[in-house]
Amino acid sequence: MPSVSPSLAAAMTHAATAVTEALERLLPHSDFAERKLFDAMRFGALGGGKRLRPFLVLNSAQLFGVREDCALRAAASVECVHCYSLVHDDLPAMDNADLRRGKPTAHKQFDEATAILAGDALLTIAFEILADPRTHEDPKVRCNLVAALAKASGANGMVGGQMLDLIAETSELDIGAITRLQRMKTGELIAFSAEAGGILGKASPQHLSALRAYAHDLGLAFQIIDDLLDTEGTEEETGKSVGRDAKAGKATFVTILGLERARHQAELLSEQAIRHLNVFDGRAKNLEDVARFVVDRKG
């Protein structure tokens, strides 16, 4: 991890460890015949990853003094949605990927039907976790979380973005369409992650919109770097299949802007993301640092 400050590295490690422990506790076990489903859910959700979204939930929640056990439930819920989307996106009918985080994808490890069902169940449990009184004592806050997560991950958010991504394989999209695609496919859930801490902390509308704006820019910067890594990175560095977009002839930020301008654009977005945090008067140090880290990462 180049250019990652010691405090950011510690905060990222803490978020990743804590959310993995929370998922371990929250995901159900079974000794019955359908056990394979439960194993596949855990496989999909506990296989590592950067846990960027949980990091955003925890660190935005900290700004408002939210109890960490509550923030962790929201973080686990977002991660269930993120992981379900990876399990479904990797399916043969979608991206047909064999490798994810250096391991077989869920349908390779289990089978296609089990992967579909495990994704469905991960999505479902995300809402069960949020609606539980242990996530927040105020049911209105819980409803706000459920509604915002559903909007971010549904047809007008993540799922719509994945649909656009599939369409991008066969039709030419311009930079505007690609930006919209990524805003929906990854941006909305990342924005919800940063917003979730604010919802839990009953933040002011001004603070909530600053967090959303920050996360939208961060998400786009993150995606541009993802595209760069798909072009420049190795499977060893990134832990997943690379060069897939180029092979598929798919338009990305890199194919449209070129390597240099794409990197420059990511850096601009990262700086812009950090400026949105000015309303927090320097108290959002970890969120600022992660915006710098995202454009410097190698995997």
Q: Is residue 86 within the footprint of its own copies (CB under 8 A)?
A: no
Q: Pattern of binders to its own copies over 65-84, x per CB under 8 A? A: -------------------x
**Window contacting its own copies (CB under 8 A); options: 52-60, 132-140, 196-204, 260-268:** 132-140
| 120 sits near its own copies (criterion: CB under 8 A) | yes
Nearer residue to its own copies within complex by CB, 10 or 143: 143
Q: Which is nearer to its own copies, 106 or 295 (CB)?
A: 106
Contact flag: residue 30 with its own copies (CB under 8 A): yes
Residue 233 CB contacts under 8 Å (≥ 6 apart), including other chains: 242, 298, 299
121 binds its own copies (CB under 8 A): yes
DSSP assignment of the chain: -TT--HHHHHHHHHHHHHHHHHHHHHS----STTHHHHHHHHHHHSS----HHHHHHHHHHHTTT--HHHHHHHHHHHHHHHHHHHHHHTSTTTT--SEETTEE-HHHHS-HHHHHHHHHHHHHHHHHHHHSTTT-S-HHHHHHHHHHHHHHHSTTTHHHHHHHHHHHTTS---HHHHHHHHIIIIIHHHHHHHHHHHHHTT--HHHHHHHHHHHHHHHHHHHHHHHHHHHH--HHHHSS--SHHHHTT---HHHHH-HHHHHHHHHHHHHHHHHHGGGGTT--HHHHHHHHHHHH---
* 91 counts as binding its own copies under rule CB under 8 A: yes
Contact assessment for residue 78 and residue 149, using Cβ atoms and an 8 Å cutoff: yes
Taking CB under 8 A as the rule, does residue 39 contact its own copies?
no
Query: Does the footprint of its own copies cover residue 131 (CB under 8 A)?
Result: yes
Query: Which stretch in 3-11, 43-51, 88-96, 209-217 sits in contact with its own copies by CB under 8 A?
Result: 88-96
Which of the stretches 98-106, 122-130, 252-260, 263-271 binds its own copies when contact is defined by CB under 8 A? 122-130
Which stretch, 45-53, 170-178, 268-276, 290-298, contacts its own copies (CB under 8 A)?
Answer: 170-178
How many chain residues bind its own copies (CB under 8 A)? Answer: 60
**Is 125 among the residues that bind its own copies (CB under 8 A)?**
yes
| Residue ranges that bind its own copies, judged by CB under 8 A | 28, 30, 32-34, 36-38, 41, 84, 88, 91, 93-94, 111-114, 116-117, 119-121, 123-125, 127-128, 130-133, 138-140, 142-144, 146-147, 149-151, 153-156, 159-164, 166-167, 171, 173, 177, 180, 184
